[in-house]
Amino acid sequence: MATASMGLIGVGTMGSALALNIAENGHDIALYNLAPSTIDDLINGAGELATRLTKTNSVAELVSAMPKPRAIILLVPAGAPVDMSIDALLPLLEGGDTIIDGGNSDFRETQARTKRVEDAGINYLGVGVSGGAEGARHGPSMMVGGSPSAWEPIRPVFEAIAAKHEGTPCVAHFGPDGAGHFVKTVHNGIEYADMQLIAEIYGLLRDGEGREPASIAPMFARWNDGILKSYLTEITSKILAAVDPETGKPVLDIIVDKAGQKGTGRWTVIEAIRMGQSASIIEAAVGARVLSSERDTRKVAAGILGTGALSAQSFDEDDLEAAFLAARILSYAQGFRILKAASDEFDWSLDFAQIAEVWREGCIIRSALLDDIATAFRSEMPEGRLILSDHFASILLEKMPALRRVVAQAVLSGLPVAALSSAISWFDEIRQARGTADMIQGQRDFFGAHSFLRLDKDGAHHGPWHAERS
């Protein structure tokens, strides 16, 4: 099968970086952007790679500049711009050509677009691309959804440009239509959780101990030499150490404490709930971003309700490390559980070990843990649950006491730990052989005659509360 020629619509920061990566790997690429000057800037700064980059001034020119079969990557904002690009391309493309959406699209939109584009006789791939501009330039992690026959002509190019883990490309085809974008969405949900866990630990030391950011940096740098090694741990130590050149203050101290979100974390939670899964740690992270945005309210509330730690605290750094590890494992476990639910619902047969492997390099959540996660998924685990694998169960048994100590201390001192504490609750709920839903069922039956199952006999039953009910 012939390798496709490459085109790109959307030459922004990510698009420019990906174009250079594709060119560097020996492929010519035709470029189109609404604002043509970004293409000029790219080509002018591309050095010897410039000969591989072709500027075009319309979608029609882009298509005619490419030999068949063509693969056109869209790196435009999710939503309407993707549909507009498809509308412009469809009349110009021919059978064997492929449109590749490389943005953070909602997987349900990708499912609908796949059908629309395939009905028009054109291939469609929804590809989650992770790693930011740096990743796009030097090797992103990529999660592909679409038909296997659409993937084959694209595969050589994408394997070449992907991040490599010990030589293995961090790109894989995971399933049909929206599968790749769904895997990317959950990646981002885990990303939100991991970022929030780190932010909470930073908050404990800043607000509980009154420490300067630079004094916290070495702790994260040290953690990055061990089992917590990850891109997010690494950049955290760099962010903590950074100084604002204008004021000489720590950069963190001049950043407004409001976090934005484009939607993927929220989608993870929405889809988890739709699929009957708990994503409580990810939800805590999304909720924390929402509350962060209510800055005015927080300021008023601080005046009325008091702010910061109730008293000066001292946190044990080893406990914080263990707490982060336990909570990180639990948030990954939630993410993989959501992937399992989606795989079952859409019949995707997702390969969870392969997902962990694709996330080992290039993406934002790349971390040392992912190797162990892949190994765990390749072996038998009780109930198919990551946290019940020998490896992760023994880490959790060892580290959970530290997470409990950290959260207890934080709660008693009035410091917010939404994600860390959600991790404990999820862990404790899952390990209760006898939960408390007997009470929920009793209440449902009492007020709504919903009936309940009995432990001692079959069938649906009602409680002896008819008299009280009437």
Nearest to 234 by CA among 209, 217, 252, 251: 217
Q: How far is the CB of 188 from ligand 6PG (least distance, A)?
A: 5
Q: What is the distance between the alpha carbons of residues 65 and 61, in angstroms, rounded to a whole number?
A: 6
Q: How far is the CB of 206 from ligand 6PG (least distance, A)?
A: 21
Q: What is the distance between the alpha carbons of residues 14 and 137, in angstroms, rounded to a whole number?
A: 8
- List 10, 102, 131, 146, residue binding ligand 6PG (CB under 6 A): 131
Q: What is the size of the binding site for ligand 6PG (CB under 6 A)?
A: 13
Q: Is 333 in the site for ligand 6PG (CB under 6 A)?
A: no
Q: Is 363 in the site for ligand 6PG (CB under 6 A)?
A: yes
> Edge-to-edge strand order for the sheet containing 53-55?
53-55, 29-32, 5-9, 70-74, 98-101, 123-130, 141-146, 171-175
Count the neighbouring beta carbons within 10 Å of the beta carbon of residue 460: 10
Nearest to 334 by CA among 401, 301, 286, 298: 286
- List 162, 364, 370, 406, residue binding ligand 6PG (CB under 6 A): 364
Q: Is 188 in the site for ligand 6PG (CB under 6 A)?
A: yes
14 versus 402: smaller Cβ distance to ligand 6PG: 14
- Stretch of residues binding ligand 6PG (CB under 6 A), selected from 256-264, 345-353, 378-386, 453-461: 256-264
- Stretch of residues binding ligand 6PG (CB under 6 A), selected from 110-118, 130-138, 396-404, 410-418: 130-138
Residues 17, 83 contacting (CB under 8 angstroms): no
Residues 6+ apart with CB under 8 A from 32: 7, 8, 9, 11, 39, 56, 57, 58, 59, 61, 62
| 380 flagged as catalytic | no
| 184 flagged as catalytic | yes
Q: How far is the CB of 141 from ligand 6PG (least distance, A)?
A: 8
Q: Is 264 in the site for ligand 6PG (CB under 6 A)?
A: yes
Q: Is 25 in the site for ligand 6PG (CB under 6 A)?
A: no
Q: What is the distance between the alpha carbons of residues 70 and 79, in angstroms, rounded to a whole number?
A: 23
Nearest to 22 by CA among 142, 118, 105: 142
- CA distance to 80, 110, 119, per residue, from 83 (Å): 5, 10, 15
φ/ψ (deg, to 5) at 93:
-90, 165
Residues forming a β-bridge with 99? 72, 124
Q: Is 261 in the site for ligand 6PG (CB under 6 A)?
A: yes
65 versus 186: smaller Cβ distance to ligand 6PG: 186
Q: How far is the CB of 71 from ligand 6PG (least distance, A)?
A: 21
Catalytic pick among 118, 164, 166, 191: 191
- Stretch of residues binding ligand 6PG (CB under 6 A), selected from 20-28, 255-263, 381-389, 460-468: 255-263
Q: How far is the CB of 190 from ligand 6PG (least distance, A)?
A: 10
98-101 and 123-130 strand pairing: parallel
Q: How far is the CB of 316 from ligand 6PG (least distance, A)?
A: 31
Q: What is the distance between the alpha carbons of residues 352 and 341, in angstroms, rounded to a whole number?
A: 12
- Stretch of residues binding ligand 6PG (CB under 6 A), selected from 161-169, 237-245, 262-270, 273-281: 262-270
What is the radius of gyration, based on Cα positions, of the chain?
Answer: 25
180 versus 265: smaller Cβ distance to ligand 6PG: 265
- CA distance to 48, 174, 180, 181, 183, per residue, from 107 (Å): 37, 13, 8, 5, 9
Q: What is the distance between the alpha carbons of residues 250 and 242, in angstroms, rounded to a whole number?
A: 6
**Within a 13 Å sphere around the CA of 255, how many CA atoms are in the beta-carbon half?**
14
13 versus 64: smaller Cβ distance to ligand 6PG: 13
Catalytic pick among 55, 94, 134, 184: 184
- List 36, 77, 132, 203, residue binding ligand 6PG (CB under 6 A): 132
29-32 and 452-453 strand pairing: unpaired
232 versus 309: smaller Cβ distance to ligand 6PG: 232
Q: Is 82 in the site for ligand 6PG (CB under 6 A)?
A: no
364 versus 396: smaller Cβ distance to ligand 6PG: 364
- Stretch of residues binding ligand 6PG (CB under 6 A), selected from 16-24, 127-135, 154-162, 215-223: 127-135
Residues engaged in binding ligand 6PG (CB under 6 A): 104, 130-132, 188, 191, 260-262, 264-265, 363-364
Give catalytic residue positions.
Answer: 184, 191
